[in-house]
Amino acid sequence: MQTIIVFTSLILSVVFGGLIVTYLKQSNKAQIIKVMLAFSGGFLLAIAFLHFIPDLYDQPSISIGTYILVGFLVQLILEFFSGGIEHGHVHVHKGQSMPWGLFISLSVHSILEGIPLGNQLSGLSLDHLTESIHHHGHTHADGDANSLLLGILFHQLPVAIALMTLLINTKLSNLNSWVVLLLFGLMTPLGVLLGLFMPAEQIGLNYHMILAVVVGMFLHISTTIIFETSENHKFNLLKLAAIITGCGLAFFIN
């Protein structure tokens, strides 16, 4: 996986979200956000259980469960400031001030999930790849990197739609709304850069610790999306299909 492709895809997913807000009607945007969130929730949940958790628990020297729980709680704290925009809660009031607390919370979330992706693209992941091939004859490292990137992209798109929807209803001009959205789009690439040039070991951590925290965040987001996708305690058929499709796609990521 080429670093330039990762950076470009991460930024373009946010730009595409902004374009959807600009050119689609309000009713269509709301429906698109719900379906995309349902799909991304199913995908995030599936890759957590199918790809990451089994590999993480193959590290006997690390208390993986603790770090997954930390990630779950970190996301809970971040959503206290973001208002739950990560899973589709958009509280729009025309002419409101720019919610910088929400932006900072989303940025912290994006940077954190970018770090293990950067680790996988760095020499640290190459060493792990070589070791896996030497001992087992095959590796899941590339598949994990693909799963992580797709999980971020699938979730980042509806979040970008929700964020841009909120931004254009603030006191910001249209141009400044795009500037803030693009700034948000740079947060995950920033996390990737941190992972590339500051391997986890340099700050006294382990790559699997950071990935476990991100997996805990994924579990919180995905379960919240799935449980909140229901209306009047009944699943809409389209949303249910989107969740199942997201889960099904994860089976084909190798």
Residue 126 — pLDDT band, cuts 50, 70, 90?
Answer: very low
**Each residue of 11-30: pLDDT tens digit?**
999 999 999 888 876 666 67
Higher per-residue pLDDT: 223 or 235 = 223
| pLDDT tens-digit series, residues 136-167 | 444 445 556 788 999 999 999 989 988 998 89
Residue in 152, 197, 132 with CA at minimum distance from that of residue 48: 152
Kindly state the average pLDDT of the residues 67-75: 95
| pLDDT at site 189 | 95
φ, ψ at 170 (rounded to 5°):
-90, -175
Task: Give CA torsion, residues 44, 116, 102, 18, to 10 deg.
Answer: -70
- Residue of higher predicted confidence among 36 and 88: 36
Which pLDDT belongs to residue 137? 41
pLDDT of 59 over the 90 cut: no
Q: For residue 214, what is the enclosing H or E element?
A: helix 207-228
Banded model confidence at residue 207, pLDDT cuts 50, 70, 90: confident
| pLDDT for position 53 | 92
111/62 Cα distance (integer angstroms): 23
Residue 233 has pLDDT above 90, yes or no: no
Which tokens belong to 186? 């740079």
| Domain parsing of the chain, residue ranges | 3-251
| Mean model confidence pLDDT for the chain | 82
Average pLDDT for residues 64-92, to the nearest whole number? Answer: 85
Burial of 210 (0-12, 13-18, 19+ CB in 10 A): buried
pTM, two decimal places = 0.84
Q: Which residue has the higher pLDDT, 85 or 215?
A: 215
